[in-house]
Amino acid sequence: MDLSLVHPIGVFDSGIGGLTVVRSLMERLPFENIVYFGDTARVPYGVKSVETIARYAMEITDFLLKKRVKLLIVACNTIAAVAYEAIQERSPVPVLDVIEAGASCAAATTKTKRVAVIGTPTTVNSNAYARTIHALDPDIRVFSQACPLFVPLVEEGWLDHPVTRLTAQEYLKPILAEHVDTLVLGCTHYPLLKSLLQDIVGSAMKLVDSAEAMAEIAARLLRKQGLANPLRIPPEYRFCVSDVPFRFQTIAERFLGRTMKRVEVVKLPLQ
Residues acting as catalytic residues:
76, 187
How many residues form the binding site for ligand DGL (CB under 6 A)? Answer: 18
Distance CA 187, CA 176 (A): 19
Does 193 contact ligand DGL by CB under 6 A? no
Pairing of strands 71-74, 263-265: unpaired
CB atoms within 10 A of CB 266: 15
Residue closer to ligand DGL by CB (options 144, 229) is 144
Residue closer to ligand DGL by CB (options 121, 235) is 121
Helices (H), 67-115: 77-90, 98-109
Using CB positions, name the residue nearest to ligand DGL.
46
Q: Name the minimum Å distance from CB 210 to ligand DGL.
A: 8
Q: Write the binding mask 98 to 137 for ligand DGL: x where contact by CB under 6 A, - elsewhere.
A: ---------------------xx--x--------------
Angle 77-90/50-66 helices, nearest 10 degrees?
60
Does 13 contact ligand DGL by CB under 6 A? yes
Does 76 contact ligand DGL by CB under 6 A? yes
Residues in 27-56 at the binding interface with ligand DGL, rule: CB under 6 A? 43-46
Residue 142's beta-bridge partner residues?
A: 115
Run of H or E including 262: none
Q: 113: Cβ–Cβ under 8 A, 6 or more apart, which residues?
A: 137, 139, 140, 141
Piece of 24-32, 70-78, 214-222, 256-264 that binds ligand DGL (CB under 6 A):
70-78
Piece of 82-90, 110-118, 181-189, 200-208 that binds ligand DGL (CB under 6 A):
181-189
Q: Given candidates 9, 87, 133, 151, which one binds ligand DGL under the rule CB under 6 A?
A: 151
CB atoms within 10 A of CB 94: 16
Closest CA to 67 of 8, 110, 130: 8
Residue closer to ligand DGL by CB (options 8, 15) is 15
Distance CA 175, CA 187 (A): 17
Q: Which residue ranges make up the site for ligand DGL (CB under 6 A)? A: 13-15, 17, 43-46, 76-78, 119-120, 123, 151, 187-189
